[in-house]
Amino acid sequence: MKISIEEIIKTGELYPLFWGMSEKNLIDVLKNLARIIEDLKLRQHPFLLIDHIELYFAKDEYNDLDELIIQTHRIKPGAESRYFDFGWINKNLTYKSTKQMLIKLGWNFEEGRTKYSQSPLLIVDNKSIFTFYDESQYDNATLDECELCKIVIKSPDK
């Protein structure tokens, strides 16, 4: 069974993963990760990268999972993953098309801007943050045309 990115975004639930999990828990759930994890440890990589999903941990050695960042800018439409079901999430989404999808799904969201760069944000149910490239990075771009960059999901305890 693949892990639904849509469900994680909507509910904050990671099943069969869970917030606070350790490296051992990950290997138990996502088979064949041991070699990848060992390689990343040797390179002192600060997070695990699995199928365009960054997994961040509160403690060293990949313990206490507390944040996911979905690299939407790398996910092709219809992309397949060994572990994840990306659903409608892909690199072709813009601010406008993402808002339209959230409305179609009936999800509550707020619009905002990042504090420093003023890049646009969509915040779903105070759980997931859709970040977009700033329109100033494009010639004559409008807010609606800004491309989706990442989706950040933090542990409910953070």
Residue 36 pLDDT? 87
52 token code pair: 């365009």
14 neighbors 5 (Cβ within 8 angstroms): no
Alpha helices in the chain (DSSP H): 5-11, 23-29, 34-42, 95-105
Per residue in 54-95, pLDDT (tens digit) is: 999 988 778 999 999 999 999 999 998 989 999 999 999 999
User: Average pLDDT in the 46-59 region?
Assistant: 91
Residue 18 pLDDT? 95
Q: Is the pTM of this model over 0.85?
A: yes
Q: What is the domain partition of the chain in residue ranges? A: 3-154
Residue 59 pLDDT? 81
Phi, psi of 65 (to 5 degrees): -55, 125
